[in-house]
Structure formats: structure tokens, C-alpha cells
């Protein structure tokens, strides 16, 4: 295992050097593979966060097929025991997650069960915000990864320390001192006017106009984003052009997002945290076809992602973590769907993970008004990722002390 990590790191470093040689740009410093302060092993590690938007129903994702109550309370949408991809006598994966199960069987997946937080909120917006800001008790405007980016001592002139593969910057990447680009796709990520050198240089001057005859609270934000848009879009396509994905990704939005994530990671542009999203899992009505399709897409895209990472020697550099704003009500509703619930499982994926089952099995008989009680605070999982994976102390970022989970060595 140790040797695998070394070789993965070396391969990554080599492809990074190739990019430096080709690109001739201002970000060379970020590509110098400087180990993070305090990073275990000094490896160039990344975290990829997958947001399963809308509230993924944990019980039909990691199915408690050994629990008779599950079938009583879900007479029409329950997943038949014979269809479940069995993990043990108690739980198994949704039948659409065959690819994901193959990763689990290789020991690359940790399932952390019954994750949640105290006094759960049932609103999509607020609960998403709670997971992204890691602040259940107050309104915090920075995300937990935004705070990580602010304090990790990453190269300030690198525009790609964090990248959100999304049209709109997610709250989890909102920082006080770091601007995270939100890039939906590289194709189209560039200014048409930059093709004209005169327009390009005048644009760069005008966007920085700081003697305006009015004041606006958004001025510095506008200037900064315009500047980053111009510089970043000039650089990123060049930086990642040398990367060729191995294998074929599914032609789904998540497949495309993870393919871009692998390309950015494999090009060694200094990115530490990436965000992608998938959904919507908000299955109030007719849950099964929707969730089955989404879980299938998730499973196939993640498998393709790790195959690609692995072919480039990056699988041990990359930890992927899923989250969803909440699980769903245990009982199905009359529309063959489920309403907003509370605790649910999340996944940690990658070569650095100690595969297996962590946390407490969901208890369908001891509920919080029909919702699963949480046993592991999500901030414990965040603390694990920050301390054991990204090598940063978690207390300041999470604004509290949380036990870590043994899922990462």
C-alpha cells in the first residue's frame, strides 16, 4: 500500500512537470508540488466532494435488507431482498450500484452510517447550508472548505486551489480570502475578446477601474471575479490540455463533471479541493425510478472516475466524499415517495480509505418522529478528512472539537 502511494505520487509529479514545460505561464509556482504544511506523507492530495442534492434516501441506497421492519414500512418502494447487492446479512447496496459495489469489494469504499447533526432541519436550503458551512447553530457565510482554503497556506497566486465544477459557486467553497472559480465546462470557459490583443489589454485595465464616481459594496468582488475570469480562462485550458482520460465516462452530467475533475487533478495545477454535484434526489412522489436512475449514474460515474485516476496513478491521491442535506422519512408516503428526513449514510472513496462499514446501523424502531436518529455527527467526518487526509487541524475550521472516524488511516 505504501509503495503504491509513492508511485502514484511520482507519476503525478512527472505529468506536472510536462505541463510546466508546455505551458509557459505564471502559475509555475503552484505546480512545484510543494508539500502542504503538515500533510501526512507530503503527498499532493485532493478532496473531491460530491453533493447528492435534494436529500438522498439512505434506506434505499444502503438497504437494510435484514430488517423486517424496513419491508413493513415500505410496502411498495422497499427493495426486495433478492435484488439487493449484499454487503452483509444486514445491509446491501441498491441494485443499480453494481459498479460502486465493485469499488467497495476492492476495499476502496467506506460507508459511514447514520450521519447527521443535532436538531436536524428539514428544509433543503437550510440543511444544505448547514452541511456546507458546518455550522448547525448559526448563520455562517463561509463554507468549511472555504475556511480550509483560507488557512491552509496554499500558494496565493494560484487561481485553482479550489475548483467548483458548477455554474454557481456552492456555499461550501465560499471563503473570505480565496476566490474559487466555478467552472461548468472548459469548453466555453474563455473571453471572445481575448482573441484581439488590443481589446485584451484594454479589458484588463478597465475592469480594475478603482476611481469610480460611485461606491458599491460589490465593486471589489466584481473587479476580482473579472480579473480571475480573464486570467484563469487564459491559463486553465492550456494547463489541462495535455491530459487524456483513460476509459470512457458515462454521458451523464456527473460523468462529465468527474471527467473534468480527473483532468484537473491529473494536470497538477495545485488543486486541493473540488466540488461536483448530482441530483435531484428530492423524491416526494414516485421515488423509485428517479432514485434508481440517479444512483446508477452515480455508481457508473464514480467507477469511471477511479478507473481514470488509477490509470494515471492518481487513485491514492484522491479522496472522494459524498454528502446530502438529509436522508428521508422512514415510512413511504401515499405518493410512493418519501418526505424530508434526517440521518443517512455517506461514502468515503479512494485508495487512502480503509474500506468497510463505520458508524451505527440505522435503527428503524427507535426514531425521531419517524426519522432516523443520527449517531455520527457529520463534522466528525469532516474532522477526519481535514486531519487525516488534508493534514490540517480541524478545530478552527469546524469551530469545535470532533472525534475522527477510523475510515482513513
Partner 1 sequence: MPTTLTPHTDIAGMYRPAGQLDIATALAPYKGPWNAKLAAHLLRRAGFGASTDDARRLSEMGLHDAVSSLVDFPSTSNLPAPGDLYDPRSTLMQYLPGAIGGRAAADDMQRRQIQQQVRRGEVQSVVALQRWWLNRMLGTPAPLQEKMALYFHGHFTSAAIQKGVSPQMVYDQNQLFRDNALGNLRELTWQVSIDPAMMIYLDNARSDPKHPNENYARELMELFTLGVDHYTENDVRESARAWTGWIYRPLLGQLQFIPARHDNGSKMFLGRTGNWGGRDIVDIIFEQPACASFFANSLLNFFVYNSPEPQLVQAVAKMISKYDYDLKPVMSTLLRSNVFYSDRAYRALVKSPVEFVIGTYKAFGLTQVDERAQNALRQMGQVLFYPPNVAGWPGGANWLTSQTVIARENFLASMVNSPMMTQVGWMSDVPTQATQAAKSLVNTILFGDASPQATAQLAEYLNGANTSALGMLSAENYPERIRGAAYLTMAMPAYQLN
Q: Report the interface residues with partner 1, using CB under 8 A.
A: 53-54, 121-126, 129, 139-141, 164, 167-169, 171, 181-184, 188-193, 196-199, 201-203, 205-207, 209-219, 221-223, 225-226, 228-229, 232-233, 280, 284-285, 331, 333-335, 339-340, 369
Q: How far is the CB of 311 from partner 1 (least distance, A)?
A: 28
- DSSP H or E segment with residue 142: none
Burial of 195 (0-12, 13-18, 19+ CB in 10 A): exposed
Which H/E stretch holds residue 386?
Answer: none
Tell me the three-class secondary structure of 171-210, residue by residue. Answer: HHHCCCCCCCCECCCCCCCCCHHHHCHHHHHHHHHHCCCC
Instruction: Please report how close the Cβ of residue 389 comes to partner 1 at its closest, in angstroms.
Output: 26
Between 228 and 354, whose beta carbon lies closer to partner 1?
228
Q: How far is the CB of 188 from partner 1 (least distance, A)?
A: 7
Q: Residue 8 or 170: which CB sits closer to partner 1?
A: 170
CA angle 288, 377, 407 (to 5 degrees): 85
Closest to partner 1 by CB, 336 vs 354, is 336
Nearer Cβ to partner 1, position 3 or 215?
A: 215
H-helix or E-strand spanning residue 109: strand 109-116
- Choose between 165 and 408: whose C-beta lies nearer to partner 1: 165
Q: Which of residues 88 and 216 has its CB atom nearest to partner 1 in the complex? A: 216
The distance of closest approach from Cβ of residue 350 to partner 1 in the complex, given in angstroms and rounded to an integer, is 27
Q: Which is nearer to partner 1, 44 or 127 (CB)?
A: 127
Minimum separation from the CB atom of position 398 to partner 1 (A)? 18
Q: Which cell goes with 116?
A: 447527521
CB of 15 to partner 1, least distance (A): 24
CB of 156 vs partner 1, minimal distance in Å: 17
Measure the CA–CA gap between 223 and 231, rounded to whole angstroms. Answer: 12
Please state, in angstroms and rounded to a whole number, the distance separating the CA atoms of residues 305 and 262: 7
Toward partner 1, which CB reaches closer, 14 or 285? 285
Residue closest to 170 by CA, chosen among 187, 161, 183, 160: 183
Angle between helix axes 219-240 and 197-206 (nearest 10 degrees) is: 140
> Least CB distance from residue 277 to partner 1, whole Å?
10
Beta sheet of 62-63, edge-to-edge order: 62-63, 92-93, 85-86
Question: Alpha-carbon Rg of the chain, whole angstroms?
Answer: 22
At 357, list the grid cell: 462499514
Amino acid at each position: 500500500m505504501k509503495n503504491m502511494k509513492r508511485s502514484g505520487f511520482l507519476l503525478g509529479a512527472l505529468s506536472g512537470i510536462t505541463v510546466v514545460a508546455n505551458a509557459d505561464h505564471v502559475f509555475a509556482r503552484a505546480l512545484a508540488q510543494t508539500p502542504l504544511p503538515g500533510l501526512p506523507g507530503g503527498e499532493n492530495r485532493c478532496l473531491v466532494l460530491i453533493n447528492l442534492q435534494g436529500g438522498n434516501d439512505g434506506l434505499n441506497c444502503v438497504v437494510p435488507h435484514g430488517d423486517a421492519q424496513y419491508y413493513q414500512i415500505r410496502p411498495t418502494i422497499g427493495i426486495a431482498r433478492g435484488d439487493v447487492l449484499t454487503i452483509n446479512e444486514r445491509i446491501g447496496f441498491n441494485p443499480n450500484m453494481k459498479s460502486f459495489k465493485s469499488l467497495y469489494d476492492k476495499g476502496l469504499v467506506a460507508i459511514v452510517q447514520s450521519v447527521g447533526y443535532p436538531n436536524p432541519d428539514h428544509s433543503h436550503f437550510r440543511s444544505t447550508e448547514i452541511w456546507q458551512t458546518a455550522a448547525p447553530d448559526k448563520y455562517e457565510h463561509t463554507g468549511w472548505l472555504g475556511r480550509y482554503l483560507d488557512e491552509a497556506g496554499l500558494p496565493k497566486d494560484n487561481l485553482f486551489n479550489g475548483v467548483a465544477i458548477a455554474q454557481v459557486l456552492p456555499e461550501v467553497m465560499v471563503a473570505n480570502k480565496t476566490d474559487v472559480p466555478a467552472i461548468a465546462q472548459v469548453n466555453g470557459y474563455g473571453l471572445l475578446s481575448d482573441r484581439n490583443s488590443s481589446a485584451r489589454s484594454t479589458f484588463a485595465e478597465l475592469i480594475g477601474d478603482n476611481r469610480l464616481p460611485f461606491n458599491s459594496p460589490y465593486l471589489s468582488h466584481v473587479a476580482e471575479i473579472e480579473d480571475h475570469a480573464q486570467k484563469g480562462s487564459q491559463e486553465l485550458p492550456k494547463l489541462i490540455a495535455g491530459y487524456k482520460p483513460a476509459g470512457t465516462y458515462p454521458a451523464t452530467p456527473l460523468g462529465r463533471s468527474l471527467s473534468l475533475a480527473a483532468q484537473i487533478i491529473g494536470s497538477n495545477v495545485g488543486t486541493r479541493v473540488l466540488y461536483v454535484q448530482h441530483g435531484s434526489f428530492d423524491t416526494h412522489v414516485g421515488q423509485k425510478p428517479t432514485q434508481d436512475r440517479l444512483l446508477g449514474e452515480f455508481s457508473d460515474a464514480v467507477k469511471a472516475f477511479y478507473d481514470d485516476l488509477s490509470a494515471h496513478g492518481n487513485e491514492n491521491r484522491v479522496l472522494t466524499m459524498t454528502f446530502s442535506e438529509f436522508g428521508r422519512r422512514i415510512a413511504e408516503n401515499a405518493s410512493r415517495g418519501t418526505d424530508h428526513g434526517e440521518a443517512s449514510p455517506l461514502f468515503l472513496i479512494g485508495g487512502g480509505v480503509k474500506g468497510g462499514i463505520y458508524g451505527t446501523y440505522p435503527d428503524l424502531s427507535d426514531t425521531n418522529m419517524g426519522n432516523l436518529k443520527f449517531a455520527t455527527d457529520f463534522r466528525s467526518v469532516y474532522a477526519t478528512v481535514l486531519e487525516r487526509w488534508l493534514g490540517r487541524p480541524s478545530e478552527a475550521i469546524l469551530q469545535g472539537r470532533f472525534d475522527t472516524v477510523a475510515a482513513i488511516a
